[in-house]
Amino acid sequence: MMQSIRHARSARIDLGAATLLLALAAPAAHALDPAQWQAVAPMLQAAVECRERPDTTSAAWRALPHDEYGQVEPVVPPMPFTVFGLPVREVSVFIDESGEMGESYTAEFAVGAPAVRNAAKLSRRGERATQLGALALSNDRPATLTCTVAGRYDESGYAEP
């Protein structure tokens, strides 16, 4: 009996040590320093405001955290960041490299949907077309604003059989 208790304790210690080693070996979360953020913030702001596509070849863009598929992971600004003059909590980016599905740039705001609608000069429905794409507001909490840039994929000619 005593031998099985020692074996169980030893197994727990070995498992604990293995877990600790895995945690230490795992990559740390990517954090942007203030200089990196200041370099990329204007690009993100212009993209979310649907004014201009970001330069995805720039060093500032490559410094953003990317997942294993090359997509930009959601970014929490390390310092105050505004879109249409309103404070932003998080920015999300989707860019289909093939160009088929297009792009989207989304900001999660620290204010409600009515404030975003007014600041972005959206219609009552919370939409506005731009030269780059289309802005759309969610009425969810928190409010999010997305600039969608169309890709080559087009369903306009699709009809159910």
Chain segment 107-144, per-residue pLDDT in tens:
999 999 999 999 999 999 999 999 999 999 998 789 99
Mean pLDDT of 43-59: 95
**∠ Cα 131 132 137 (to 5°):** 100
- Residue 63 pLDDT grade (very low, low, confident, very high; cuts 50, 70, 90): confident
Residue 106 near residue 140 (C-beta atoms within 8 A): no
Q: Across all residues in the chain, what is the average pLDDT?
A: 81
Task: Please state, as a whole number, how many other Cβ atoms lie within 10 Å of the Cβ of residue 29.
Answer: 7
Buried b (16+ CB within 10 A) or exposed e, 80-113: ebebbebebebbbbebeeeeeeebbbbbbbeeeb
